[in-house]
Amino acid sequence: MRPLVIVPACTRDFGEHPYHAAQHKYVDAVVLGADCAPMILPSLGASLDLETMFGLIDGIMLTGSASNVHPSYYSEEVLDPSLPQDPARDQTTLPLIREAVKRGVPIIAICRGFQEMNVALGGSLHQAVQAVPGKFDHRENPELGMDEQYGDAHRVRLTEGGFLRGILEADEIPVNSLHGQGVNEIAPCLTVEAVAEDGLVEAFTVKDSPGFTLAVQWHPEWRIQHNPYSMKMFGAFGQACRAYREQRRSRG
């Protein structure tokens, strides 16, 4: 049996009905990159039974999303009310992250998931990176096709001696860029693993975590099998999930 990885869903309205939804590319990345079995987790908020979940799972992948983490979680007001929010996802993922880190459950996080981890662990966000002096505009051009939107946009420098550099065996790599928000103050328990050319934090891990933790601001799930760096990241995550599964079994 493959390790079980939960993929927390976003809440979206299709027609007049609300849905729990996850994009295909994230689910595919769990299968094709990590060689694990994905399970979409509804955004149930306070109704989520964490004990049941942690009794079953071997890993967590936090996806990107069009929605933003609500700024009240880092003591700010909403800067642009036209941007989408997803309170049910916030209420699900933020406590899930804190408990998973405590238990050593392997985590890989992408874009919104990267931002969720920073906020859940005590950090804050720039709500509009493009408005911050000295920072680039990291948003995609919506007028371009998907391949161009998800194409390489800039390079990131990997921290010397860092966890991510060890996995990728590279000093810098090209990445795509499809985000308007980004890390402002990084949570005290996090270690920076990569920065963009403008100094924006692009990857981190959790210091002294008992388990695998890797969060990136870019989208490694896009056409994952065509990107060797993405395959290495998800491959390492999959190995961590298998190791955690064996530990969980040995504990009975």
**Residues recognised as catalytic:** 111, 219, 221
Q: Is 238 exposed, middle or buried (0-12, 13-18, 19+ CB in 10 A)?
A: buried
Q: How far is CA 120 from CA 99, 141, 182, 227, 237, in A?
A: 10, 29, 14, 29, 21
Distance CA 125, CA 147 (A): 28
Are the C-beta atoms of 107 and 32 separated by less than 8 Å?
no
